[in-house]
Amino acid sequence: MHVIRHQQQKYPESVAEQEQLVAGVLSGTVPPCLILTEHPPVYTIGTSGSESDVLMRQVDGDQIAVYPTGRGGEVTYHGPGQLVCYVIADLRCEPDLHRHVWRLEEMVIRTLADFGVQAERDARGIGVWVGGLKIAAAGVRCRKWVSFHGIAVNHRPNLKHFSGIVPCGMQDQPVTSMQKLGLDVPREVLESTLISHCNTLFDPLART
């Protein structure tokens, strides 16, 4: 995976970048990519979501933007301290979105295991969970079997911002973060660990 890092990006700029990369992968001019970034506070509404799931647009003194987006899933939050992993993967040799989402989740599960945290999948929905609390939310979109969007890891975000929405359709807002679990992991260390597991999981796909 070619890795692209941004300290922070506005959400619309990130979507535009992904669109360009998807076009490049489809044309054969760009390799599969992993984008690592953060966003200013934003609520995004997936194809299964509704504006009614946005309860407040000002939370804890911050004004939070709202954008509809083409990814699957409902409403989620992105903001500073949350590391977003956008995976632009060529799935034409293995057109299986369930397997793709499994890889995204597995990338985070293996990363957290390296920091001593037992994470898992949960029947309540896609993503990664620790002790019944969601620590990473996933949502993907596919164009001609090239994927984009991805998974967002709650590194050390302001968890109060989740109170402005019904996150992923869950009324009780069961979210957590690495920081809340007592993990003081620098972002660059988290990134390098995620990159390692991303390469392990996605390189075989690229070589197919």
pLDDT in tens, 145-158: 999 999 999 999 99
Predicted confidence at residue 76, as pLDDT, reads 92
Predicted confidence at residue 168, as pLDDT, reads 61
Contact indicator for 43, 64 with CB cutoff of 8 Å: yes
Confidence of residue 2 (pLDDT cuts 50, 70, 90): very high
Confidence of residue 208 (pLDDT cuts 50, 70, 90): low
Question: What is the arithmetic mean of pLDDT over 11-25?
Answer: 97
Domains and CATH numbers, the chain: 2-207 (3.30.930.10)
Predicted confidence at residue 17, as pLDDT, reads 98
Decide if pLDDT at 169 tops 80.
no
Is 168 a known active-site residue?
Answer: yes
The structure's pTM equals: 0.94
Q: Say which of 33, 85, 142, 168 is annotated catalytic.
A: 168
pLDDT digits (tens, 9 = 90+) for 21-66: 999 999 999 999 999 999 999 999 999 888 999 999 999 999 999 9
Average pLDDT, the chain: 94
pLDDT digits (tens, 9 = 90+) for 184-205: 999 999 999 999 999 999 987 7
Decide if pLDDT at 74 tops 70.
yes
Predicted confidence at residue 171, as pLDDT, reads 66
